Structure 1
């Protein structure tokens, strides 16, 4: 029997001048909530393209989220095995 598991990540953006900020929330099945942040800054000479700023800020936010998931998985492994864990990408 297969069990379907899904996670949902919510990402919100805020534009302030030439800066795009992103905040993400991930809720895991065990009740853990991980929050991550990222940003992008547009060079003053570049054309205003909100989508590009959002993509960069989101990528940096998701990178932060991935780092947090690796840290959580290491703690979970260590809790089960009592041996230091060093997962990496």
Structure 2
């Protein structure tokens, strides 16, 4: 299989106390940049595991990017049909 195009997603994390925030940036070949944010908050009874907060925040930020891509694709299809 031949690769036609590649996408790069940057995800950065910020951790303060029991909160983990994730910010993501996706640059598409057409020049579009999609940005999204996600977060996770550790429950007081949960053990202090930084990795788990990052994974939850990352899952949420990637989900937000997916929704943004769906909206972009839908708008592009609607524009072609109009």
What range describes the TM-score normalised by the shorter chain of this pair?
Answer: over 0.9
Runs of 5+ unmatched residues, structure 2: none
Counterpart in 2 of 1:86? none
Higher relative CO (Cα under 8 Å, sequence separation at least 6) belongs to: 2
TM-score (normalised: structure 2) = 0.95
> 5 Å matches for 1:2-81?
2=2, 4-81=4-81
In the alignment of these two chains, the number of paired residues is: 81
**Distance in 2 separating the partners of 1:72 and 1:4:** 20
How big is the alpha-carbon RMSD for the aligned residues of Structure 1 and Structure 2?
A: 1.0
| Structure 1 moving runs of 4+ over 2 Å | none
TM-score, length basis structure 1: 0.87
